[in-house]
Amino acid sequence: MSKTLLDKLWEQHVISGEVGEEQLLYIDLHLLHEVTSPQAFEGLRFSNRKVRRPENTFATMDHNVPTKNPEVIEDEIAEKQLSALRNNCQEFGVHLEDITSYNQGIIHVIGPELGLTLPGKTIVCGDSHTSTHGAFGALAFGIGTSEVEHVLATQTLWQRKPKTIGIRLEGKLQPGVYSKDVILHILAKYGVSFGTGHVIEFFGSTVTNFTMDERMTLCNMAIEGGAKAGLVAPDNVTFEYLKDKVTGDFDAAVEKWSRLYTDDISLYDQLLEVNVNEVAPHFTWGTNPSMGISIDDKLPEITDENDRRAFEYMGLNPLMSPDEIKIDNVFIGSCTNSRISDLLIAAEVVKGRKVNENVTAIVVPGSKEVQREALKLGLDKVFTEAGFEWREPGCSMCLAMNPDKVASGKRCASTSNRNFEGRQGKGARTHLVSPAMAAIAAVYGHFVDVRKELSNATICNS
């Protein structure tokens, strides 16, 4: 019988329960960070339970970590959450990448980096952007604190099987257009809830040509379309990425992983088609990720109360053109776009240029590993010479939970994934963009079409 990729992943993990009802799924990898885990551990302690599979559980610190002098944590509550994680991991025997550890970083950046994220696995984390790991053909989704406790204690979860949406991406991206623009384009077209109750599988020639980093950016933001998870079937690009990261019989693993694909695209509950040839650089103007437009367009007219509120919060007017939008902050980072390829793209754009005098710009690598690679390539110098601040790894300005915040009323071009009211700080105004668009906005102090700013000799988007 032919099956979708989701069918295969699901069937391989069902322990109990009837088709069509809640079923008990085995969880292969449980990722933890400091914010959503303390009460779960407390629950274990309270009921005298252990972590069932500490070897399948992995923790790091990312949300609260200061990116300047990470060792000095002034926020008492943050410090309490961090030391709680430290104590919990020690008590329950869970591996922790602490703030100063060699492999610390944003949980969704280091999982793949360390070869923990593998095709065919079920992966959960008390964090919605767990969808990132779907880029490897793993079934990966975010859970709440009670569920975190449930997984810690049982290594399982009761779940109802989601439906599937296949999104076929065909064509070749123009220079200066990236997978971030593609996902912003998809969200602008289909909205923030089209994926509710579904898993989105991305496929087609564009996806086949994407690197793992580009696939992760796509899947990372599948959740912004309301989907439970994003998926890409593993292929040679995946295997090549993993080659040096896994121990054991790699050929046997590849043989197993190679069976993870959708047999027949007519099996998807819905099929959407996107031609990426025409996708232009995008940016969001409003207060959810679907309120985005192409750099070729003007801001939209007001069509409803949501638009009106968004314009008001963002301090913008309908029909403004992108270059009229003045930028105060630029943030290059987050689990969406803080990998080495993202930093390379941004560095190419700013090389030999200067950050606009009205702009404060920071670059925050997604992990210690990304940071080390960037230092090796001298990217830190490129950024600092241009006037960027070069920081230590963490979630940073993606959310207002550590010292990196955008001030009220200020406007930030950000490579992160959420532009909700207050996300980067109370009253802060967020515009979601690709690393290239963020970098060029830092130079000009407003949005410009990055396609026109690239010397074709140096830039190609592989």
Partner 1 sequence: MQPFVIHKGRAATIMLNNIDTDIIIPKQYLKRIERTGFGEFLFDEWRYNDDRTLNPNFELNKQSNNDVSILITGENFGCGSSREHAPWALTDYGFKVIIAGSFADIFYNNAFKNGLLPIRLDKKSRDELSLLSKNAELTVDLENEKVIVGSQEFSFSVEKPLKNKLLLGLDDISLTLKHEDKILAYEAAAK
Query: Where do contacts with ligand SF4 occur on this chain (CB under 6 A)?
Result: 62-63, 106, 108, 127, 129, 334-335, 395, 398-399, 416-417
Q: Applying CB under 8 A, does 101 fall inside the site for partner 1?
A: no
Q: What is the 3-state secondary structure (H, E, C) of 207-235?
A: HHHCCHHHHHHHHHHHHHHCCCEEECCCC
Q: Applying CB under 8 A, does 128 fall inside the site for partner 1?
A: no
Nearest to partner 1 of 144, 409 (CB atom): 144
Partner from partner 1, ligand SF4, none binding residue 149, C-beta < 5-8 Å depending on class: partner 1
| Stretch near partner 1 under the rule CB under 8 A, chosen from 79-87, 171-179, 389-397, 444-452 | 79-87
Total residues contacting partner 1 by CB under 8 A comes to 24
Partner from partner 1, ligand SF4, none binding residue 158, C-beta < 5-8 Å depending on class: partner 1
What is the closest distance, in whole angstroms, from the C-beta atom of residue 235 to ligand SF4 in the complex? Answer: 25
How far is the C-alpha of 138 from the C-alpha of 155, rounded, in Å? 16
What is the closest distance, in whole angstroms, from the C-beta atom of residue 145 to partner 1 in the complex? Answer: 8
Partner from ligand SF4, partner 1, none binding residue 80, C-beta < 5-8 Å depending on class: partner 1
**Identified binder of partner 1 from the candidate list 7, 24, 95, 101, rule CB under 8 A:** 24
Paired with 60 in beta bridges are: 97
| Stretch near partner 1 under the rule CB under 8 A, chosen from 44-52, 164-172, 296-304, 375-383 | 44-52
Q: Report yes or no: 371 and 399 within 8 Å, Cβ to Cβ.
A: no
Partner from partner 1, ligand SF4, none binding residue 313, C-beta < 5-8 Å depending on class: none
How far is the C-alpha of 283 from the C-alpha of 433, rounded, in Å? 5
What is the closest distance, in whole angstroms, from the C-beta atom of residue 425 to ligand SF4 in the complex? Answer: 13
Q: Applying CB under 8 A, does 39 fall inside the site for partner 1?
A: yes
Nearest to partner 1 of 160, 372 (CB atom): 160
**Identified binder of partner 1 from the candidate list 67, 130, 132, 156, rule CB under 8 A:** 156
Partner from partner 1, ligand SF4, none binding residue 275, C-beta < 5-8 Å depending on class: none
How far is the C-alpha of 135 from the C-alpha of 231, rounded, in Å? 5
Q: Report yes or no: 34 and 168 within 8 Å, Cβ to Cβ.
A: no
Nearest to partner 1 of 13, 429 (CB atom): 13
Partner from partner 1, ligand SF4, none binding residue 335, C-beta < 5-8 Å depending on class: ligand SF4
Q: What angle do CA 37, 41, 45 make, to 5 degrees?
A: 170
What is the closest distance, in whole angstroms, from the C-beta atom of residue 63 to ligand SF4 in the complex? Answer: 5
Partner from ligand SF4, partner 1, none binding residue 47, C-beta < 5-8 Å depending on class: partner 1
Nearest to partner 1 of 401, 412 (CB atom): 401
Partner from ligand SF4, partner 1, none binding residue 106, C-beta < 5-8 Å depending on class: ligand SF4
How far is the C-alpha of 194 from the C-alpha of 188, rounded, in Å? 11
Cα–Cα separations (whole angstroms), residue 70 to 79, 98, 204, 403:
11, 11, 42, 10
Q: Report yes or no: 419 and 412 within 8 Å, Cβ to Cβ.
A: no
Q: Applying CB under 8 A, does 92 fall inside the site for partner 1?
A: no
What DSSP assignment string belongs to 301-370? PP-SHHHHHHHHHHT--TT--GGG-B-SEEEE-TTTS-SHHHHHHHHHHHTT----TT-EEEE--SBHHH
Of 128, 170, 136, the closest CA to residue 423 belongs to 128
Nearest to ligand SF4 of 204, 289 (CB atom): 289
Q: Applying CB under 8 A, does 64 fall inside the site for partner 1?
A: no
Nearest to ligand SF4 of 155, 416 (CB atom): 416
Which two tokens mark 241? Answer: 């990425």
Partner from ligand SF4, partner 1, none binding residue 77, C-beta < 5-8 Å depending on class: partner 1
Cα–Cα separations (whole angstroms), residue 142 to 18, 86, 157, 201:
23, 22, 12, 17
Nearest to ligand SF4 of 111, 137 (CB atom): 111
Torsion 25-31-35-39 (CA) sign? positive
Which two tokens mark 105? Answer: 């970083």
| H-helix or E-strand spanning residue 439 | helix 435-444
3-class SS of residue 386: helix
| Stretch near partner 1 under the rule CB under 8 A, chosen from 154-162, 174-182, 198-206, 438-446 | 154-162
Interactions with partner 1, residue window 201-230 (CB under 8 A): none
Partner from ligand SF4, partner 1, none binding residue 154, C-beta < 5-8 Å depending on class: partner 1
Q: Applying CB under 8 A, does 154 fall inside the site for partner 1?
A: yes
What is the closest distance, in whole angstroms, from the C-beta atom of residue 128 to partner 1 in the complex? Answer: 16
- Residues 6+ positions from 90 with CB-CB distance below 8 Å: 96
How far is the C-alpha of 86 from the C-alpha of 34, rounded, in Å? 9
- Residues 6+ positions from 266 with CB-CB distance below 8 Å: none
For the chain, report the end-to-end CA distance as a whole number of angstroms.
Answer: 37
